[in-house]
A and B are shown apart, each in its own frame.
Chain A
Amino acid sequence: MEEDSDNKVRITYLVLDVLKPHRPTIVELSRYLAERINTITTVNTTILEIDQDTESIKMEIYGENLEVDMIKSVLREYGASVHSVDEVTVEK
């Protein structure tokens, strides 16, 4: 089905449950993500749990047209692993 560009559905908000090593820090990781993907406008990261080697974090990502696979790929490149997508906002 052809999409009318005016009715195009876009992901504008995501909440990800992410597991990462201690380094890069959440500041560095959030910065890398925002620098690497132009359509991301805001990244809000919170640490949920810390253990000896890793930290569980929640990342709230705001943007114009977010692609989950691309974000996962960039996070993977920085040593982080996305466990789940906990929230999503889609706009039209």
Chain B
Amino acid sequence: MEINYISTGGVNRGLPLITRLKRYIDYIRISNANEVARRYFVINSFDGTVTALGIILGALIANIQYPGQVIDVGVATGLALLISGITGTSIAEEAERDKIIRELEASMLTDMRNTIFEKAQRFAILYVGIVDGVSSFLSVLIALGPVFASAFGFIDLSLALQTSIVVCLIYLGVLGIFIGSYAKRSILKETLKLIGIGILTTIVVTILLYPT
């Protein structure tokens, strides 16, 4: 009897890329990883953006003169968030997924090792960790976009930092639209909520730190 697919004993090496991608999509569906990943994407994009806002406001208040200095601080922070996101979330998610597998083994009275269910849970750990880390890192990079432009001489640093603040608020607004869309809630309300938090952060940091 012919089996259409060659079992690789749980290993995806050697499979065509399309087949591998389809398998990963199956894993995401089976492990329900998208629900968790979406949550981490929103939380960490928000964290990354507000963190970047803090860096930008700090640079403005401290009257930093060189865009390279802002970029160094920003990228270093972004990289730290990337590593923290990937590793921290993977550790937490591994514990949760192990629990899910053990509970299912108890219910099924069978070993779930090397089943698609276990592979899906293992894949979800990596997937969610990457989404977590990359979303915060990307948020910082997006916020620093105008500062990069200043580093290349397109605009002066002061204007770049002010533009970065606007970019942060816009990105928070986009996150609000995303949340409103998938949660089927008022997009306007969610957008205003997140932009409001960005404006509040700006006001609080400025009031507390602006030299008198």
- How many chain B residues touch A (CB < 8 A): the figure is 24
B1 and A38 form a contact (CB under 8 A): yes
B109 CB contacts on chain A under 8 angstroms: 81
Closest Cβ of chain B to A52, distance in Å, is 7
A67 CB contacts on chain B under 8 angstroms: 1
- How many chain A residues touch B (CB < 8 A): the figure is 24
**Residue A53 is within 8 A (CB to CB) of chain B in the complex:** yes
User: Bound complex: CA of A24 vs CA of B109, how far in Å?
Assistant: 18
User: Bound complex: CA of A19 vs CA of B120, how far in Å?
Assistant: 18
Interface stretch, picked from A1-9, A41-49, A71-79, A84-92, is A71-79
Most buried by A among B26, B30, B109, B116: B116
Q: Which partner residue on chain B sits nearest A51 by CB separation? A: B107
B31 CB contacts on chain A under 8 angstroms: 23
From B1, B7, B103, give the contact of A77 (CB < 8 A): B7
B116 and A78 form a contact (CB under 8 A): yes
B116 CB contacts on chain A under 8 angstroms: 24, 77-79
**Residue B212 is within 8 A (CB to CB) of chain A in the complex:** no
Q: Which residues of A contact B (CB under 8 A)?
A: 19, 21, 23-24, 28, 35-39, 51-54, 65-67, 70, 74, 76-79, 81
